[in-house]
Amino acid sequence: MTTLFSDDSKERPRRDVAPGATHVPGWLTTEQQRWLVGQFRHWVAGPVPMRAARVRGHEMSVRTVCLGWHWQPYKYTRDATDVNGNRVLDFPDWMVRLGRRALVDVSGDPRAGDDYTPDTALVNFYDDDARMGMHQDRDERSLAPVVSLSLGDTCQFRFGNTTNRNLPYEDIALSSGDLFVFGGASRLAFHGVTKIFPGTASRDCGLDAGRINITMRVTGME
């Protein structure tokens, strides 16, 4: 496992989408992607099953399993009180290290991840018809960066402004293995997923259909 996330991975191109927001295509190798897909299967078989949360009475088309803290609109709890009452799986140490490496890679600063200790991950699964409306990630007490990893089918990711859901925004194709980080001035930017492109997953990523999105966050809770 340690070799999968070593720091000597080949440097990949990156693009600063907005201040504090960076897209790194192909950040994960196919071996890393397969390993993470295997972890996803372990997580969904855990004490709290994957479920579609209900927001304002409507069931989301995206299904979610959580690590560390359980997210439910609009709060975090240790136990999945809106599912089966079980405590979610712990946030793994290797994911903390992975999140820190992501911040180092997008910033070019070897110390950028020193103070970053994510303690929750929302792991979302999108089938062909799933979407996620424009929203802000503001249920956390901390404004530390969000680190997002994509596995499986490519999606159209809409990244907007911090004021509202309207223009200006940009549509970005996030493919299997891509990294997207947003923090700083873009931490509260509205964002969403407007489309999934079926059949676009890398042949060797380990996921036959659909998209997995792992988002690491710092809740700021104890």
Domain ranges, residue 55: 15-217
CATH code for the domain in which residue 166 is found: 2.60.120.590
Residues 6+ apart with CB under 8 A from 82: 53, 54, 72
Taking only the tens place, the pLDDT of each residue in 125-136 is: 999 999 999 999
CA pair distance 54, 60, nearest whole angstrom = 6
Q: Are 189 and 157 in contact (CB under 8 A)?
A: no
Taking the mean position of all CA atoms in its chain, how far away is CA 172? 15
Q: Is residue 135 part of a domain?
A: yes
Residue 12 binned pLDDT confidence (cut-offs 50, 70, 90): very low
Average pLDDT, the chain: 94
Q: Is residue 8 part of a domain?
A: no
Taking only the tens place, the pLDDT of each residue in 176-214 is: 999 999 999 999 999 999 999 999 998 899 999 999 999
| Number of domains observed in the structure of the chain | 1
Q: Is residue 5 part of a domain?
A: no
Model's pTM, two decimal places? 0.93
Q: Is residue 7 part of a domain?
A: no
DSSP letter string, 130-153: --EEEE---SSS--PPEEEEEEES
